[in-house]
Structure 1
């Protein structure tokens, strides 16, 4: 018996001595010189969320989150053009940021909804320049900035978001971004080249054509890499997969029998009929026969800008068809998605030419459509409750920004043999409920 016990004890000691030990991988910049990092982009880069630029959102900007991880592998201090910490924020239209609050609709029903924090935004912020020559900014995310605007002289006189942070009234964003001679960069531009057109239901304006886009994009990359800097460029997500475009169902016209009878009396003479339950909203469409109206069909999108009180109480979307500015038809969506694909093909080709890493936040946006599980937490593109987007339905919230930031980190690690630590997005806030 003693011999058996001794054998078991020895075996246990042998097994214990062979137990693998987990060693945390060392952080490393690999082939990347992370000393001076800058990021150029539009509103998503700046920390714009809840339809405004404001202090807390800037703290969780993609640029700031990526920089924090790069600092673990040798990057220096990172400065941002912060709004005042007590600011209500400011949108491109001069409005304050959204918060989640209670709102009563035209039917007298009170429910949670995005509401403005104040009656007007902090437009005074545009009158005060925050540039500091001793603390050169690293975040050159400028809300509303297109690819062609990045190297446009005196851009600050056209866009107050850059005007408040530029070194002079005559400088371009690219000139200020490269003044510190960055050794590492990230480029996340292109969304604004098509977003305004898409947000207007493809009813007005236009988008940057591919040739102009590609030429301007390469000029930016050529300037950023001229002194040997390495970096990452980003593909453009399909913005039509964001909650702003996917929240209201195309067949959200739910009808009771009396409503069916009323609408059939109006529309049956022109060959359009309704049924009890869900129906496609009515929209204006010049191509829809002599009367230019029709039902929406599966795959078409109703924009979040649609005045829902008018839908509920004033027969908008039924007796009075939606105007083009509130919807995206299949033809319009096909055009928009093809344009995004053309932009991404141009970005991919330029990245190959200049041997740069490619981040793919477009995959994050696509996966959020069906939902993802991240460290045990389910996230989706569902408006408000999905956990990834802010209250404007286009920009991410802090948690969403953390997930997208990891795409930039992953791309840098893969391309430059680096071990930049990933972000645990669960540690970042989502939508705050009252």
Structure 2
């Protein structure tokens, strides 16, 4: 037989065989795996509540990551999920920031939208005046309470001094004495997410390490309380028969726009446009020393809005440009304060990882995620990074997330849950959610 004919015949058979063996795309069938999502609750602070743009308001609540997760869980047998929404008439909630435009030089103009959900206030001895928000009385699955620290979850009077928690309780301040941990476990549940611990270091950092009462929670205390919270949650609440869950690490706060937007070089460039001989920005350290800032120090976002650099004091010394009138500690984290924040964050996250492993809980490493966006990533074809305003990840307060940011977080939680429990909860299409809303 002719060798060329044999080769052509073999080739023809190969082509037919290849054509008949085209790979087919198989759809993944949603499955709950070894978990039960019948009643999912979300335990946490402002990030859990949907807080954004410097406030808690309806649009943010409607784009919280727990609500996104719960919606996806419904494809694998998850139940309904109730969020303590503000009403349409109170849509602006506690008030929030909005982007109103840009200056001729391109700087953002951020304005404040007033609150619509304040029912009054109360003055409490030792705490001062506390705002009272409109009460929520419906079913509850999202227990996110802005401002709560892990070291407050067993503190009985918290419901009197934290307006976000007071809003969820049946009583009125100052009669509330239900600890947060008791409140979230008062009813049975089958699955939980817990993202606590952020505020135990965040409040100190965002205040420029200037408020001693906000000093990070003692490491041993943090470990004890995190174990207590996990122990209480895995029981499944009062009347429950046990619950599985997912926990998240404390994010790297120093990688957020609140600490990365106002840089030493940006300040010097702006000053040198009018005063070319200026070579230093002076800061007041946490130790009370006035010295030139270095790239190891962090300027806070509110410094830009304050617009005080170069403004002379009563003695004529320009603010930040003379060692006798340095940038105040509340506007800067010096390198030693920053190092302390990193140290506490690392310790907290070691505890969280240890507890997750011991309890068999899913773990979402939020710290690693936030760091990974510093240089930018592409998500479903959309560029996302940690830049202020334009990065799509962070909202106008420079700390909390945009709806797109919360969708990204929701997906990371879902991936962790699927990995730990063998479930196949579908992820969220992040392109359906916005970044910062432009005017």
What TM-score do the two structures reach when normalised by structure 2? 0.85
TM-aligned CA deviation for residue 422 of structure 1 = 1.3
1:209-259 deviation digits (Å, cap 9, x = unpaired):
111111111111111112321111111011111100110012322344973
TM-aligned CA deviation for residue 88 of structure 1 = 5.3
In the alignment, which residue of structure 2 is the partner of 1:222? 231
Q: Give the counterpart of 1:236 among 250, 259, 269.
A: 250
The 5 A counterparts of 1:164-243 are: 164-168=167-171, 169-205=176-212, 206-226=215-235, 227-243=241-257
Q: Which moved more, 1:158-167 or 1:232-241?
A: 158-167
Secondary structure of the corresponding residue to residue 369 of structure 1: coil
The gaps in structure 2 that reach 5 residues or longer are: 1-5, 121-131, 236-240, 313-317
Q: Which moved more, 1:145-154 or 1:157-166?
A: 145-154
Secondary structure of the corresponding residue to residue 174 of structure 1: helix
TM-aligned CA deviation for residue 12 of structure 1 = 5.6
The gaps in structure 1 that reach 5 residues or longer are: 262-273
In the alignment, which residue of structure 2 is the partner of 1:266? none
- What is the alpha-carbon distance in structure 2 between the residues aligned to residue 312 and residue 384 of structure 1? 25
In the alignment, which residue of structure 1 is the partner of 2:332? 327
Q: Give the counterpart of 2:268 among 253, 277, 280.
A: 253
In the alignment, which residue of structure 1 is the partner of 2:413? 408
The 5 A counterparts of 1:339-378 are: 339-378=344-383
Secondary structure of the corresponding residue to residue 88 of structure 2: coil
Q: Which moved more, 1:209-218 or 1:380-389?
A: 209-218
On the 8 A contact 1:42/1:143 being kept in 2, the answer is yes
Secondary structure of the corresponding residue to residue 339 of structure 2: helix
- What is the alpha-carbon distance in structure 2 between the residues aligned to residue 149 and residue 238 of structure 1? 21
Does 1:77 pair with 2:80? yes
Secondary structure of the corresponding residue to residue 222 of structure 1: helix
On the 8 A contact 1:286/1:293 being kept in 2, the answer is no
On the 8 A contact 1:237/1:365 being kept in 2, the answer is yes
TM-aligned CA deviation for residue 381 of structure 1 = 0.6
The 5 A counterparts of 1:46-125 are: 46-87=49-90, 89-91=92-94, 96-102=95-101, 111-118=107-114, 120=115, 122-124=117-119
Does 1:17 pair with 2:25? no
On the 8 A contact 1:56/1:85 being kept in 2, the answer is no
On the 8 A contact 2:310/2:321 being kept in 1, the answer is no
TM-aligned CA deviation for residue 11 of structure 1 = 6.2
Alignment root-mean-square deviation, CA: 2.6
TM-aligned CA deviation for residue 90 of structure 1 = 4.5
On the 8 A contact 2:53/2:98 being kept in 1, the answer is yes
On the 8 A contact 1:50/1:395 being kept in 2, the answer is yes
Secondary structure of the corresponding residue to residue 55 of structure 2: coil
On the 8 A contact 2:286/2:337 being kept in 1, the answer is no
1:79-123 deviation digits (Å, cap 9, x = unpaired):
0111122435355xxxx211111366xxx96843221123x5632
1:109-143 deviation digits (Å, cap 9, x = unpaired):
6843221123x5632383432122xx3x1101100
Secondary structure of the corresponding residue to residue 157 of structure 1: helix
What TM-score do the two structures reach when normalised by structure 1? 0.86
Secondary structure of the corresponding residue to residue 65 of structure 1: helix
In the alignment, which residue of structure 2 is the partner of 1:45? 48
